[in-house]
Chains A and B, each alone.
Chain A
Amino acid sequence: MAERTLYEEYGGFSKVSKIVLSFYDSLLDNDEVGPFFDDVEMSRIVDHQTKFIASILGGPASYTDNQLRQLHSHLTITDGHFDELETVLRGTLLQHGMASEDVDLVVAEFEKRRPLIVR
């Protein structure tokens, strides 16, 4: 039997959906990274966050490095933005009761993608 992903361990989509919504709220309220979503349609932002959270927890979405690079290529994302998003992500996961060692794992995975996103 294959190893359980964090996505499954933390209760699948019913739990993850709550994480997605609160992550979405925090991002939009955040003046550091929020402006990236100023002119983006609501359903697209939600879609983006759903896939983001699902993929970093090992759920039913995955992106190759090339896709990630492509998808962010039109944005001028700095290390500061990336750090801020990391903070928001960490905060959201902890707030939803994820064990801190699991959060560390997720953030470490997230950190690996830094070179693809930041320019």
Chain B
Amino acid sequence: MTIEAINEQLLRAIGVGVALLDRQTLQFGFRNDTFEEWFSAETQPAQLQQLFPDLDVSAMQENLTGSGRYASEIRFKKKRRTLVIALDFTAADEDVLVLVCQNITRIKELESMIDSYSMMVERNTREIKREKEQVEKLLLNIMPRSVYEEFKTFGVVTPQMYDPVSVLMLDFVGFTDMVASQDPSVTVTELNDIYSAFDRIGEQFGCERIKTIGDAYITVAGLPDPTPDHAKAIANTAIRFVRYLTRRNLSHPHQWHCRIGLSTGSVVGSVVGIQKYVYDIFGPAVNLASRLQEFSEPMQITVQDDVATVLKDQFDLENVGARTIRGFSKQDVWRLSDSN
């Protein structure tokens, strides 16, 4: 076999469609087997435009004159499958045009599949992100952000001592009777409104609400970030809680009266529990605030001696004398009033 004959054999059998055309008339001169296989039609058109009616011939000629090359793509259906063939024209010399065709159907199908897959994955990613944000929001409701960050990074929270902080303990007068005598769902809805308002007020003064247990509400100033003004912050918050309830009672049929106790000291904050974890604080200041609250008449704020010392210059305080406090030494307690 001659070299020419081998070349021709190769050209015929190769998996790429090859055709030679007359540069001027665009008549086919040679078509290899692959080309015939792809573009076999009963009529066997002898001319390029007849075979590919959608081909932009003027653009092709322009490119061939300029760079000697032109690339295009055609799609057609074979049975019910869409074939995509890349056409590559090269001007070999003055008279001959070489057309090389590659079957890029699979590539196009893969591209479509990647599109489809990435759309699914992206949608799922968005959903997961949304869910994650909701979980985060829930966790931020039960613990301060800095604690949450630690929890997220290490999976545990190291108990931390906060010293000094001020604790506010609030309790509603006659809540149990209220639940019993009125529609409990209404009572709870109102409680939710009130707690939400308390949260907003506390936030204004940099207080961190720790928890609510039924009708008891505990918030702290000076945690997790130390604040020199923690006593003032807690006093301002307490005064506004009372003010809010007073105003609310004017326009609502259900009357809400609270007792408040304020204390200062150190607390330990940590996440407790493994499955059902909750962020909580522990320490004498928490207990003291709870005891002081019991000394309050409805809508009154009882303040620990140490807190009163700090607040005296700026707040309206009245000494109500020494009291014996369960678990603590006998000490002076004070009444904080709204000076406005």
Binding site for B on A (CB under 8 A): 13, 17, 20-21, 24, 28-29, 34-35, 37-38, 41-43, 46-47, 50-51, 54, 59-61
Q: Which residues of A contact B110 (CB under 8 A)?
A: 17, 21
- Give the 9 A-B residue pairs with the shortest CB-CB distance, closest first: A46-B112, A42-B82, A43-B112, A47-B116, A50-B116, A60-B120, A60-B124, A28-B81, A38-B80
Chain B proximity of A91: nearest CB distance (Å)? 19
Contact flags B90-125 to A (C-beta < 8 A → 1, else 0):
000000000000000010111011011100110110
Decide: A17 and B117 in contact? CB cutoff 8 A. yes
CA A60 to CA B123, docked complex, whole Å: 9
CB within 8 Å for A50 and B82 given contacts A42-B108, A42-B112, A60-B124 = no
CB within 8 Å for A24 and B115 given contacts A38-B80, A42-B82, A51-B120 = no
Q: Which residues of B contact A47 (CB under 8 A)?
A: 112-113, 115-116
Q: Which residues of A contact B80 (CB under 8 A)?
A: 28, 34-35, 37-38
Q: Which residues of A contact B115 (CB under 8 A)?
A: 43, 47
CA A28 to CA B82, docked complex, whole Å: 10
Which residues from 44 to 103 on chain B have a C-beta closer than 8 Å to any C-beta of chain A?
Answer: 79-82, 84
Decide: B82 and A41 in contact? CB cutoff 8 A. yes
Decide: A28 and B79 in contact? CB cutoff 8 A. yes
Q: A17-B117, A35-B80, A42-B108 are in contact. List 8 more A-B contacts (CB 8 A).
A: A21-B109, A28-B79, A47-B115, A47-B116, A51-B120, A54-B120, A60-B120, A60-B121
Q: Which residues of B contact A42 (CB under 8 A)?
A: 81-82, 84, 108-109, 112
Decide: B121 and A51 in contact? CB cutoff 8 A. no
Decide: B79 and A24 in contact? CB cutoff 8 A. no
Q: A41's closest neighbor in chain B, by CB?
A: B82
CB within 8 Å for A50 and B117 given contacts A21-B109, A24-B109, A42-B109 = yes
Which residues from 115 to 144 on chain B have a C-beta closer than 8 Å to any C-beta of chain A?
Answer: 115-117, 120-121, 123-124
Chain A proximity of B177: nearest CB distance (Å)? 47
Decide: A61 and B120 in contact? CB cutoff 8 A. yes
Decide: B121 and A50 in contact? CB cutoff 8 A. no
